[in-house]
Amino acid sequence: MSTRLIPLEDFFRNAQEAAYQLSPDGRFLSFMAPYKDCMNVFVKPTTGGEAIRLTSETERSIGGYAWADDDRLVYVKDHGGDENYALYGIRPDGTDGRAYTAFDGVKTVIIDDLEEVPGQMIIGLNRRNPEVFDPYRLDLNTGELTLLAENPGNWQGWTTDHQGRLRAVTAIEDGVNTTLLYRPDDTEPFKPVLTTNFRESVNFMEFTPDDRLVYAATNLHRDKVALVLMDPADCSEIEPLYEHPRYDISSITYSRRRKKLLAVYVTGHKEPIRHYFDDEERQLRERIQAHFPGRRYGVADSNKAETLYIIYVGGDRTRGSYWLYDATTDKAEKIADIAPWLHEDELSEMHAVNYTTRDGLEIEAYLSLPAGLTPDTARGLPVVVNPHGGPWARDVWGYDSEAQFLCNRGYAVFQMNFRGSTGYGRRFLEAGYGQWGLKMQDDITDGVCWLTDKGIADPSRIAIYGGSYGGYATLAGLAFTPDLYACGVDYVGVSNLLTFMQTIPPYWQPMLQMMYEQVGHPDHDRERLEATSPALHADQIKAPLFVAQGANDPRVNKAESDQMVEALRRRGVDVEYMVKDDEGHGFMRQANRFDFYRAMERFLARHIGTDANKRD
């Protein structure tokens, strides 16, 4: 274990500087940094000099930002975690601040920043109908919004070409089948070209330089999502470009300057997987890697000329640093450390491990151990089992603030990509459909058994903690395997599958039928949903529970936590409940994060930590 107890705040305080970007002309560096405990946007010259703070938010951090063109940045913010993000703009000298879409109860999504069309963006607004987003062309100089198409009620996932024209859109038919609509230019109507079940996917990632064909990510007629060259007029596959035997592809690199597909990226178990289509790109990446031997890096941004690059360098024991790389001189200069107060030699390794479930499925997982321990030397540790949210997401190898904090306090942390996690192909994803609280939960249980069989875990000191779906898995673990866990921490988690489906955000409505197949139908599958809703089986929970919830959560309504807490308290079960009135689906404010993790630290210490050892 680390020789020093690192202050809790050091793990969860705002970054010193983060989210670095380059202006398109390369003259400015932009980043986010704290101002009165909220993350705000700053700009400074690339050549050096003092930074200018462009935003002054003190209630809630900026939700994200980007360069719209050389003369303007845009950013989004919501109110109290309601996720109704509004779009704002400002010039890099701090003048001409604009509120482009500050409409009450309206959410803004960015469809295309139109990198090749200065002064314009294409955005989506659910202003006309809260359930759907209409695409608008936004003039950043005048603020004028031009409606490009009226969403009939089920369109989403727009694709633009290199001229900024809307060329394709996905329609959700009956919430289950998906139709891809296409048009050869923006003067003609959209016409359907392919209809599939939602289990099959076709995602237009980028048009070819002539705007005629597309590079598409698809699992049509295959298990893994592959990269193919496709004709968008009929979705016929012209040429397969890359397919990995174990994983779905994640992203591509495309050069707008050179008008060329450069590479495809795959998220592996630990090491990144890159496949190159261009030798110049391969050589560039090799030169960059030479500056950071043995380190993990990624290209965070570049200028339009593709001569300057912002490089993020990270790993499992650091929040990382940003570097400015000049491709013309092959020089790399450090810009900033994200968290200079943390030191790698005091932090823990994240070990990539595998185990097999009771029905023979191989699960990739991550085991973080107190500093100095390995899976071969760790024995009899208190463990925090941490299933991810989503559930259609996945854990990845790298730095994790929660895991580092818990390891520093003497706990092992176990994270697993149970069935239903993304990135492992269609069969693995679909194996989780209809399995909330069933086989998905068994995968978590089997991982715990793997830890105890190896002697890594002390069977009497195992906790389960997660957020969102991970919160559901926490409650399901306590209710359906009540002897497995000593305690649990539920963070904005689902407790009742029936009420959860009734309180989803309005813009999820077009996907409701799909969710019925993925989770369950409240009428047809009522018996199963009742059987797997922890709130309806609170009488089976006997381990202490800590629940945390944002009052404004649009995804997992506060009623999910309320009913769970009420059911347990009626039975006299020890349950601690933290509600933050200024938060949504997760705590964004620094002070609230500190409160949550302080409470978690005390809770775990009482039940599986050093304090637990002192109990009678």
Residue-wise pLDDT tens digits, 517-541: 899 998 899 999 999 999 999 999 9
468 is catalytic: yes
Quick check: 30 and 607 in contact, CB under 8 A?
no
30 is catalytic: no
- What pLDDT was estimated at residue 2? 41
Strand ranges of the sheet holding 260-266, from the earlier edge strand across to the other edge:
249-255, 260-266, 273-276
- What pLDDT was estimated at residue 345? 94
% residues pLDDT > 90 (the chain): 83
pLDDT in tens, 287-325: 999 999 989 999 999 999 999 999 999 999 999 999 999
553 is catalytic: yes
Annotated active-site residue in 112, 553, 561, 607: 553
Q: Which one-letter amino acid corresponds to residue 22?
A: L
Domain edges within the chain = 17-153, 344-613
* Range list of β-strands (E), 50-176: 52-53, 64-69, 72-77, 86-90, 98-99, 108-112, 120-125, 134-139, 145-147, 155-160, 166-173
- What pLDDT was estimated at residue 507? 66
| Tokens (6 digits) for 379 | 């024995």
Mean pLDDT for 53-81 is 93
Alpha helices in 355-425 (DSSP H): 401-408
Map residue 497 onto helix, strand or coil.
helix
17-153 and 344-613 share one CATH topology? no
- What pLDDT was estimated at residue 1? 42
Q: Distance from CA of residue 140 to its chain's centroid?
A: 28
Question: Would the pLDDT of 616 be above 50?
Answer: no
Mean pLDDT for 175-191 is 90
- What pLDDT was estimated at residue 613? 54
pLDDT in tens, 552-566: 888 888 888 999 999
Closest CA to 546 of 611, 615, 472, 491: 491
- What pLDDT was estimated at residue 284? 97
In the structure, what pLDDT confidence band is assigned to residue 139 with cuts at 50, 70 and 90? very high
Annotated active-site residue in 468, 495, 533, 561: 468
Give the span between the Cα atoms of 95 and 279, in whole angstroms.
43
Q: What is the mean pLDDT of the chain?
A: 93
pLDDT in tens, 438-475: 999 999 999 999 999 999 999 999 999 999 999 999 99
As to burial, measured by CB atoms within 10 angstroms (0-12 exposed, 13-18 middle, 19+ buried), residue 393 is: middle
Give the span between the Cα atoms of 400 and 605, in whole angstroms.
20
Quick check: 560 and 494 in contact, CB under 8 A?
yes
- What pLDDT was estimated at residue 175? 66
- What pLDDT was estimated at residue 611? 65
Residues near 246 by beta carbon (within 8 Å), at least 6 away in sequence: 224, 268, 424, 425
Give the span between the Cα atoms of 569 and 472, in whole angstroms.
18
List, in sequence order, every residue forming a beta bridge with 465; answer none if it has no partner. 489
Q: Distance from CA of residue 597 to its chain's centroid?
A: 20
- Answer yes or no: CATH 3.40.50.1820 is held by domain 344-613: yes
Higher pLDDT pick, 76 / 177: 76
For domain 17-153, the CATH architecture is: 6 Propeller (2.120)
Mean pLDDT for 263-283 is 96
List, in sequence order, every residue forming a beta bridge with 351; answer none if it has no partner. 367
Taken in order 500, 414, 297, 587, the sign of the CA dihedral is positive
Instruction: Give exposure, 543-572, as e/b (b: 16+ Cβ within 10 Å).
Output: bbbbbbbbebbbbbbbbbbbbbbebbeeee
Map residue 320 onto helix, strand or coil.
strand
pLDDT in tens, 195-232: 998 889 899 999 999 999 999 999 999 999 999 999 99
Instruction: Give exposure, 368-389, as e/b (b: 16+ Cβ within 10 Å).
Output: bbbbebeeeebeebbbbbbbbb
Give the span between the Cα atoms of 522 and 506, in whole angstroms.
18
Question: Would the pLDDT of 505 be above 90?
Answer: no
331-337/296-302 β-pairing: unpaired
pLDDT in tens, 389-427: 999 999 999 999 999 999 999 999 999 999 999 999 999
In the structure, what pLDDT confidence band is assigned to residue 501 with cuts at 50, 70 and 90? confident
- What pLDDT was estimated at residue 176? 76
Annotated active-site residue in 162, 388, 537, 585: 585
Give the span between the Cα atoms of 170 and 187, in whole angstroms.
18
Q: Which one-letter amino acid corresponds to residue 482?
A: P
